[in-house]
Amino acid sequence: MGWFGEAVDSIKSIQIRQALSQVVSLGLIVTSALIIWKGLMLMTGSESPVVVVLSESMEPGFARGDILFLHMSKDPIRAGEIVVYNVDGRPIPIVHRVIKVHGQRDTGEDYVLTKGDNNHEDDIELYAPGQRWLQQHHIMGRAAGFLPYVGWVTIIMTEKPIIKYIVIGALGLLVITSKD
Amino acid sequence: MHSFGYRANALLTFAVTILALMCAMASVSDNFNSPSPTSKVQVLNINWFQKQPNGNDEVSMTLNISADLQSLFTWNTKQVFVFLAAEYETPKNALNQISLWDGIIPSKEHAKFWIHTSNKYRFIDQGSNLRGKEFNLTLHWHVMPKTGKMFADKIVMSGYRLPQEYR
């Protein structure tokens, strides 16, 4: 029996009050994660303040699995900045560097062309058919900070869902069976 | 209380905290570096200069770029991305920035360089405003750290002018 028997016993011996307090502490963990995420959104002004690099197109600067912290301010986008942008019809945002900017005088609208540091060609091929430039509304944020490797956790979890379920299951079991 | 699980958890938490602290300190230490890079760019030749069928001006030029960016490197520097952009105003656009050449400098030993090149990206205007146009050549650099905050700055070099006629 050993560990498993103990675990079953501890589940059996759960009192209603203890169970409630565990639900509350679990709720606290979930809500504080949500608070941090939403707080980051407010501080950075970007709808997704942290992104994981998924492709090799910005090597050797950013490798697969690195994490970027985004920042979105009123300042106009300028050449050289690394922006994260969405293209209509593409589910996954792209992280590339701005190489050309045309800022219109009348409308104040910027027309921007991007390219991956590790790619030979610029991104016109990646844009929607007929699209030549990115505009402000395509851009989700610009990269301001960088943390290596940490994003591998999410890459592994999305590519091997079984590991995700094992981790969630193990954590859940730990929470249920822990005796404070 | 002092089970294996608790000890492993405490050790892991401590290790992650120390690692995060060291990353933060490495990033903060970059602020103490005050770099003094230098750069010089010559336009050696206008290879050709014409109006495309769609009405946009395009020019091809040969450049000689020399720069010393060694002082940008610190122990937290992974690489420096450097590029040269042509920047000018037109009646329609308050700002045009066109990257002409870029490069990745992986280490301090390679940070003092000169290169003789024609423009790597096409120099195309939005419209037909390039004849006799005065423009700046700006050397921009973006310091990519091993961890933490990214830095960027530039040197503006002014006084370049395109020819009056297509060739």
Q: The complex's ipTM?
A: 0.86
Would you state the structure tokens that stand for residue B3, as one six-digit string?
């089970």
Over residues B47-67, the pLDDT tens digits come to 999 999 999 999 999 999 999
Task: State the smallest CA–CA distance between residue A159 and chain B in angstroms.
Answer: 25
CATH 1.10.150, applies to B33-161:
no
Which DSSP helix (H) or strand (E) runs through B156? strand B151-161
Q: At what angle do helices A152-159 and A161-177 cross, to 10 degrees?
A: 110
- Nearest residue to A68 (alpha-carbon basis) of A88, A46, A89: A46
pLDDT in 10s for each residue of chain A, 180 residues: 567 777 777 767 667 888 888 889 889 999 999 999 999 899 888 888 888 988 888 888 889 999 999 988 888 899 999 999 999 888 888 999 999 999 999 888 899 999 999 998 899 988 988 899 999 889 988 998 888 898 898 888 888 889 989 988 988 887 777 655
Count of pairs with CB atoms under 8 A, one residue in A, one in B: 81
Contact yes or no for A98/A59 (Cβ under 8 A): no
B160 touching A, CB under 8 A?
A: no
Largest CA distance in chain B: 85
Q: What is the CATH number of domain A53-149?
A: 2.10.109.10
What does the pLDDT average to over B61-74? 94
Burial class (CB in 10 A: 0-12, 13-18, 19+), B9: exposed
A81 contacts in chain B (CB < 8 Å): 142, 152
Contact B150 A144 (CB under 8 A): yes
Quick one: pLDDT at residue A23?
A: 87
Contact yes or no for B90/B129 (Cβ under 8 A): yes
**What whole-number distance in Å separates Cα of residue B119 and Cα of residue A13?**
75
Cα end-to-end distance, chain B, whole Å: 84
Q: Is residue B117 scored above 60 in pLDDT?
A: yes
Contact B92 A145 (CB under 8 A): no
Secondary structure of B79-137 in HEC code, one letter for each residue: EEEEEEEEEECCCCEEEEEEEEEEEEECCHHHCEEEEEEECCCCEECCCCCCCCCEEEE
Please give the positions of A annotated as active site. 57, 96, 123
Quick one: pLDDT at residue A102?
A: 94
Cα end-to-end distance, chain A, whole Å: 22
Quick one: pLDDT at residue A179?
A: 58
Quick one: pLDDT at residue B3?
A: 83
